[in-house]
Amino acid sequence: MGSSYMAMRRSKKLASKQMKKVLITGGAGFVGSNLTASLLAEGVAVTVYDNLSRVGAERNLAWLQEQGRGLRYIAGDVRDSSLLNHTLRQGQFDTVFHLAAQVAVTTSVADPRSDFEVNALGTFNLLEAVRNSGYNGHGAPALFLTSTNKVYGGLEHLGVQLQGDRYAYADREGVDEGCPLDFHSPYGCSKGAADQYVRDYARIYGIPSVVFRMSCIYGPHQFGNEDQGWVAHFLIAAVKDQPLTIYGDGKQVRDILFVEDLLRAFKLARRQIATTRGQVYNIGGGPQNTLAIWQEFSGLIKLLHGKIPPVSFRAWRPGDQPIYVSDTRKAHADFGWQPAVGVQEGIRRLYEWIRANPALFERSPQLSGFSPATPADFTGGVQ
């Protein structure tokens, strides 16, 4: 039988499956822990592969271990190709969510080698482990990568105008998947390389993989700081009455997506893997869920908390985008997804979680600012 025929049979077999055994790299991070808990509640057996190097990961893992049966934890690093190969060979997973990453632009500039090894080489290691596990009679597991909108670079070619207290595109509502790639910063290069490797392994080796290019994801179990996770960072600073530094004029606009909506996107895309395999999707709050990072967010903080934290302003940082908004129409067309949780509801829910769990933030690092040039936390734990 020809290779194309066997690939078609594997595709049909995979499409008929529901998730039963799942591997999540970075499963103790922000998105990873939320995804793990959601799948465990549905009766899915989940293996979390995480080295717990990210702030808050140990606390998230402890929370997950209280959720009930079905959880397995492997203290693993994605730079360890031998352990990844062993894990994939033994696990018989039907789905892999690759959330482990180095997520801060600032860290990538300070240590580009480590950034490359985690994001680019780590993803390559996982792809090889998935490929090698997929020819044991069970078919390759579906693989989901959380990429980033930073693969599009600074988007200087897009027309931007200031409308009152927020920036807006002059001729569009959002950025679609046809936007030219322009990797910017070591972080953009390492995640961009991972993004393209995952896409090409779908073409060359038939691995049923999907790439989500993420905008700003926020929600419970996010330990935001100056380098990433800015929505949570601002709210934590407000609750702890700690100062913030805004780089730029605070009118920069981002689309933000509550984590539960992201989990639903994962599940819908997995169910439609025959359609979504090999595809790239921009995933974010879209034009209906945008926020000017300070000019508008400060009003929501005051409404919830009664006051805003002390704020100072500094010059724009190089490479910052005045606006980034995801065009999510392709995701809606291919697997019927669109955001359901609005900005005010999502921020309220995150604020209430922070207020209800003060002990989780007792050892958090000093919260001293925000750089819109760095991405929101869209991954799991850093590996």
Which residues are part of the catalytic machinery? 187
Separation of first and last alpha carbons in the chain:
40
Record the tokens describing residue 269, joined without a space.
């895309």
DSSP secondary structure, 160-207, as one string:
EEEETTEEEESS-SSB-TTSPP---HHHHHHHHHHHHHHHHHHHHH--
Kindly state the helix (H) or strand (E) to which residue 9 belongs, with its residue range.
helix 3-15
Angle at 362 between CA 237 and CA 352, to 5 degrees: 55
Q: What's the CA gap between 234 and 243, in Å, rounded?
A: 9
DSSP character for 119?
A: I
The candidate with the shortest Cα–Cα distance to 378, out of 308, 281, 310, is 281
The candidate with the shortest Cα–Cα distance to 10, out of 140, 162, 131, is 140
- For residue 256, the tally of other CB atoms under 10 A from its CB is 25
| Burial class, 312, CB count within 10 angstroms (exposed 0-12 / middle 13-18 / buried 19+) | exposed
Record the tokens describing residue 111, joined without a space.
């240590």
